[in-house]
Chains A and B, each alone.
Chain A
Amino acid sequence: MLRIAKLPIAVFALFIIIFPWIAHQIPTIEHYPDIMVFAGIYCLITIGLSLLMGYAGQISLGQAAFFGIGAYISGILTANYGMNAWACMVIGMAVAAAVAALVGTPSLKLKGHYLAMATLAFGIIIFIIFNEEIEWTGGPDGMSGIPGLSLLGFEFDSVESYYYLVWGFVLVAFIFTVNVIQSGTGRALRAIHASEPAASAMGVDVSKFKIIIFVYSAVLGSLAGSLYAHYLNFINPSTFDLFFSIKLLIMIALGGMHNIWGAIIGACLITFLSYEWLHYFEEFEVIVYGAILLFVTVLLPDGLAGVPGIVKGWFRR
């Protein structure tokens, strides 16, 4: 049985809870909770993407689009129309779900290269729309004045409060996804990955499952986008470009896409790399990402999450 151990999840949750306190004690990492907010936001996207790519075996190079859809819908509706931010978040998720169903239905009939290119093209088209519909999106200059979040009078205006909000969402999404993986749905997804003809001969509605997962990953992406917009109070299209979709790919490849933990590990590592550790490299940053991606693909096909298995293998020998 595919079982995902509960203990690491509890340890991880505990760590997330006390991390701001730890960071507060050590001056050199005092600002880490801020970076962890972004890491958490990216985790939401990679959790969905890991389920889609690692478990169901369907590649998507257009996830940045859903992230952008959430961010822009939240941004436009709250900043320009003064709507309730939580309602906008839900609207964003609904729109992302609708777009994913619309694009996913024909796309997910495609395989391999075709699916990769279709999702890539979709992502770029959405990116062009963000740039061109200046009236709505502010064009390449972006849009500012997006309000922060508040709930029942409580303002999520400190880094710490936003940290707990984001990671609360991440934890819920993570546990939900773990449950899905361990259920009949997860089994059906892995069956699709292994053999579509056999899965459908056993009664699995292959296209339905693929679309459900694609929609789920889009909804999580949109939620992440909304959280991003309300945290930064400013968005511009370059956040949602092709390179971001590839960065997401790097995250799950580095973490290991056949393991849901890989989504968390990869998102956190790459976020810290790009916001902190590689900050000084500037021009080199992209090369380093490429090198990481190539290294992982060639030498570490199961990502960092696969390392314990490799080490175990050494001891067994």
Chain B
Amino acid sequence: MSADIEENVLELQGVVMTFGGLMVLNNLNFKVRRGTIKAIIGPNGAGKTTLFNVITGSFSPTEGTVMFKGRPIQDLKAHKIAYQGISRTFQTVELFGNMTVLENVMLGCHTRVRTSFMASGLVLPQSRRKEKRIRESALKILKFIGLADKFKDSADSLPLGEQKLLEIGRALASEPELICLDEPAAGLNETETHLASSLIKAINAKGTTVLLVEHDMKVVMNISDEILVLNYGQKIAEGPPEDVRNNPGVIDAYLGGVA
């Protein structure tokens, strides 16, 4: 059992999600091995984003369990799940547009320091030290994602490609064990896509497990260790890229036109 926990950082068992009678996720079971990159693909409306929202606590599943490091998290609220070590990005960029690039990443560090209202108001030395520490680590992350020279700009003013990178940076700032990326390459041009792919690989190389939803098959086939294919909220295939690529069911349901 304990070996299994070590092996699988995330495990979904019988997850069902319904919205007013509509079943969006249907009895979903899968595991994500520690240190790997797993991609979730599937046609539009397959339930990919809903799956992300269930894992990261935006919704509680109607049925089933979500185990993170061997502990059930399906009933925890989103901010509690962030403290457990799961971080995410959003399909439609959800940056804090009214804040600077640096502040966005500093907010990502929220789980790493205790923020007390009284301590902030009284500017206790400890809270000043904490601010300094997270400022430094946020700058480090900006360097890692290549936005260090833009730290002062407002997040709103960045082009989409950089906004996507910044969102990944913000998610990294909490030093998560699992990072969930919702379409990191959507809307990016070829150069930017390439940049995003290598960034994801670099994140993974540092030991962070990556779960991503992506439509760009080149990205998916290139970087993922394993692929999970969803259709109508059900798993129709799972395995390494080459297996999935040749799976007749998948070709039928999804890749038909592409491959």
Q: Which residues of A contact B (CB under 8 A)?
A: 1-2, 176-177, 179-180, 183-188, 190-191, 193-195, 197-206, 212, 216
**A197-B58, A203-B174 given; A187·B121 CB < 8 A:** no
Bound Cα distance A203, B95 (Å):
14
Asked whether A203 lies within 8 Å of B110 as measured between CB atoms, the reply is yes
Stretch at the interface among B6-14, B99-107, B222-230: B99-107
Asked whether B79 lies within 8 Å of A200 as measured between CB atoms, the reply is yes
Bound Cα distance A177, B108 (Å):
23
Asked whether B100 lies within 8 Å of A183 as measured between CB atoms, the reply is no
**A1-B102, A195-B95 given; A202·B117 CB < 8 A:** no
8 A–B contact pairs at CB < 8 A? A2-B103, A179-B121, A179-B123, A185-B121, A193-B98, A194-B95, A194-B97, A195-B95
Bound Cα distance A184, B127 (Å):
9
Bound Cα distance A184, B114 (Å):
9
Asked whether A197 lies within 8 Å of B90 as measured between CB atoms, the reply is yes
Asked whether A198 lies within 8 Å of B99 as measured between CB atoms, the reply is no
List of B residues within 8 angstroms of A204 by Cβ: 79, 107, 110
Asked whether B79 lies within 8 Å of A206 as measured between CB atoms, the reply is yes
Asked whether B94 lies within 8 Å of A188 as measured between CB atoms, the reply is no
Whether a CB of chain A sits under 8 angstroms from the CB of B232 is: no
For B105-130 the 0/1 string (1 means CB < 8 A from A) is: 01110110101110111110001001
**A184-B130, A203-B110 given; A198·B96 CB < 8 A:** yes
Kindly identify which residue among A1, A2, A188, A195 contacts B110, using a CB–CB cutoff of 8 Å.
A188
List of B residues within 8 angstroms of A187 by Cβ: 99, 103, 106-107
Tell me the minimal C-beta distance from B143 to chain A in angstroms.
Answer: 17
List of A residues within 8 angstroms of B174 by Cβ: 202-203
Kindly identify which residue among A184, A195, A216 contacts B96, using a CB–CB cutoff of 8 Å.
A195
Whether a CB of chain A sits under 8 angstroms from the CB of B48 is: no
Tell me the minimal C-beta distance from B122 to chain A in angstroms.
Answer: 7
Interface centre among A176, A200, A203 (most CB of B within 10 A): A203
Whether a CB of chain A sits under 8 angstroms from the CB of B200 is: no
List of A residues within 8 angstroms of B113 by Cβ: 184
Bound Cα distance A195, B79 (Å):
13
Further pairs besides A201-B58, A204-B110: 5, Cβ < 8 Å? A1-B100, A179-B123, A183-B119, A194-B95, A200-B82
Whether a CB of chain A sits under 8 angstroms from the CB of B71 is: no
List of B residues within 8 angstroms of A191 by Cβ: 96, 99, 107
Asked whether B82 lies within 8 Å of A183 as measured between CB atoms, the reply is no
Tell me the minimal C-beta distance from A306 to chain B in angstroms.
Answer: 14
Tell me the minimal C-beta distance from A81 to chain B in angstroms.
Answer: 31
Whether a CB of chain A sits under 8 angstroms from the CB of B60 is: no
Asked whether A203 lies within 8 Å of B96 as measured between CB atoms, the reply is no
Count A-B pairs with CB separation below 8 Å: 109
Q: How many residues of B contact A (CB 8 A)?
A: 42
Whether a CB of chain A sits under 8 angstroms from the CB of B69 is: no
**A202-B87, A202-B107, A202-B108 given; A184·B95 CB < 8 A:** no
List of B residues within 8 angstroms of A201 by Cβ: 56, 58, 78-79, 82, 87-88, 90, 94
Tell me the minimal C-beta distance from A20 to chain B in angstroms.
Answer: 28
Tell me the minimal C-beta distance from A204 to chain B in angstroms.
Answer: 6
CB contacts under 8 Å to A, within B206-252, are none
Asked whether B107 lies within 8 Å of A179 as measured between CB atoms, the reply is no
Kindly identify which residue among B98, B103, B121 contacts A177, using a CB–CB cutoff of 8 Å.
B121
Whether a CB of chain A sits under 8 angstroms from the CB of B131 is: yes
Asked whether A194 lies within 8 Å of B98 as measured between CB atoms, the reply is yes
Bound Cα distance A183, B126 (Å):
12
Nearest chain B residue, comparing its CB with the CB of A187: B107
Whether a CB of chain A sits under 8 angstroms from the CB of B83 is: yes
Interface centre among B77, B78, B106, B116 (most CB of A within 10 A): B78
**A184-B115, A202-B87 given; A176·B98 CB < 8 A:** no
Asked whether B102 lies within 8 Å of A183 as measured between CB atoms, the reply is no
List of B residues within 8 angstroms of A2 by Cβ: 99-100, 103
Bound Cα distance A191, B107 (Å):
8
Asked whether A176 lies within 8 Å of B96 as measured between CB atoms, the reply is no
Tell me the minimal C-beta distance from A297 to chain B in angstroms.
Answer: 19
Asked whether A190 lies within 8 Å of B99 as measured between CB atoms, the reply is yes
Interface centre among A177, A179, A202 (most CB of B within 10 A): A202
CB contacts under 8 Å to A, within B194-208, are none
Tell me the minimal C-beta distance from A305 to chain B in angstroms.
Answer: 15
Whether a CB of chain A sits under 8 angstroms from the CB of B170 is: yes
